Chain A
Amino acid sequence: MYTIIIEDLQKVVRDRSIGNVNTPLPAGVNAEYFVDLFQQTCTLINVRQKLISTYRLLAGSPSSLPDYRLLVVSLEVLFDTNRNSFQHPCLTLLRMGFMIETSILICLFKAQLAIGSYEFKDSTALLFKCRGYLDNWRQRCLPTSTPEHAPLSSAVSRSASDVSVTSGGSGGGTANPSLSSTSVGGGNPPPAASSSSKLDVDLAKTAPKTFMWLNELYGIAFGVDLRRLKFQKHRNARRENDPLFLQRPALSRDRHGWIRLGDASTVCSNRLRLL
């Protein structure tokens, strides 16, 4: 269907009779306005076709996982090439949707690669960033009256829903949390997870289930209880001015069996390093 639409639009764009005396346009209509619009719509549809082919690639390889690095590179090229390709005022919202969607996919693929490399912090930050992009998408592009789970009957919808079998969260990518190239123009970027403590606090407040999942993950991987760690951190902060506390030996065990190293302000970080 997209191919037919592009062909029809390109016929109109190529037709030099637009605006001629023999075939007049309605009063007050600027022919160039619509020629530009149709040209840029063709570009937009081409971009969408490439995104759909990415979804089909994910859906069509149940046995062998796709090369996420190649997908990241191709999506980044697609993003950088086309971020300014359609600047027509009518296409502002569609352009924003493309940029957010591409950013989400890039982050997901990078997160997948990070998890494959056991880089859990980076993958978590990337997934958190993905959630921010998705919220941004919903806030900017979806009306409240639109049913979010409307029936999808097109072939595109079917292919996209099939992706769940294989991609299931095909996040992935190199563990580089700085995604400056994927920042969405005109939109508020998701909260940057540059600080792990800030990330913990944000997650605990905004996504308690995610925090629980993270806690479970860190518990299995490193034997760390984030809730306990946060409690210890607050308690140690209160003791920063306690001379008796500061005069304790540099290395000791508290009543909970935790190893203490250094002064109160560095207990948490040193404990993590020990574990």
Chain B
Amino acid sequence: MSSPLEEHTRLFYDALGRYNQTDASRHIKTCTALVANTPLAQGFAALSRFSVSEGMYASYAFLKKNIFKKDVWSPPPATRLCCY
């Protein structure tokens, strides 16, 4: 049986992996409250900054928007130029 801290930590990373900033922020706030005044507080404070960085989502958004146009796969512009 995992502790509430471990459970919220797992949910935080899960939300981060799913690029869900809202859930990630919510769970990291709970974790920060649970570890207040303990040695882990600094680590979770660092993770709370990590959660709002949005950097994790950027790559997917870039690939989706610029290389794979919308829902239809099309060759990227440079590829088209090279082909023709």
Write the residues of chain A forming the contact surface with B, with a CB cutoff of 8 angstroms.
1-2, 4-5, 8-9, 11-13, 15, 17-19, 23-30, 33-34, 37-38, 41, 45, 48, 51-52, 55, 89-94, 96-97, 101, 104, 108, 111-112, 115-116, 120, 123, 127-128, 130-131, 134, 137-138, 141-143, 145-146, 148-150, 152-154, 156-157, 159-161, 163-164, 167-171, 207, 209-210, 213, 217, 220
Contact = CB atoms under 8 A, between A and B. Distances in A.
Contacts of B14: 90, 93
Nearest to B34: A26
Contacts of B84: 220
A66 B60 CA distance: 21
19 contacts: A2-B53, A26-B3, A90-B12, A94-B17, A131-B68, A134-B68, A141-B18, A141-B19, A150-B54, A154-B53, A154-B58, A156-B58, A161-B61, A168-B78, A169-B66, A169-B67, A207-B72, A210-B74, A213-B75
A17 B50 CA distance: 24
A131 B73 contact: yes
Contact of A115 (B19, B57, B83): B83
B42 A152 contact: no
Given A90-B13, A112-B78, A210-B73, A2 B61 contact: no
Interface in B34-84: 34-35, 38-40, 42-43, 45-47, 49-50, 53-68, 72-79, 82-84
Nearest to B23: A143
Interface of B: 3, 5-6, 9-10, 12-14, 16-21, 34-35, 38-40, 42-43, 45-47, 49-50, 53-68, 72-79, 82-84
Given A152-B57, A154-B58, 11 more contacts: A18-B40, A25-B39, A26-B38, A29-B3, A55-B59, A89-B10, A92-B17, A94-B16, A134-B64, A138-B64, A141-B17
Contact of B18 (A24, A101, A142, A210): A142
Contacts of A145: 20
Contacts of B63: 101, 104, 134
Contact of B61 (A4, A15, A111, A160): A160
A91 B56 CA distance: 13
A111 B79 contact: yes
B17 A154 contact: no
A80 B16 CA distance: 23
Contact of A209 (B20, B54, B72, B82): B72
A19 B39 CA distance: 8
Given A12-B40, A141-B17, A152 B61 contact: yes
Contact of B3 (A28, A55, A91, A123): A28
Residue among B59, B62, B68 with the highest chain A CB neighbour number at 10 A: B59
A220 B82 CA distance: 13
Given A5-B46, A108-B67, A94 B53 contact: no
A45 B72 CA distance: 32
A171 B43 contact: no
Nearest to A131: B73
A134 B3 CA distance: 35
Contacts of B54: 150, 152-154, 156-157
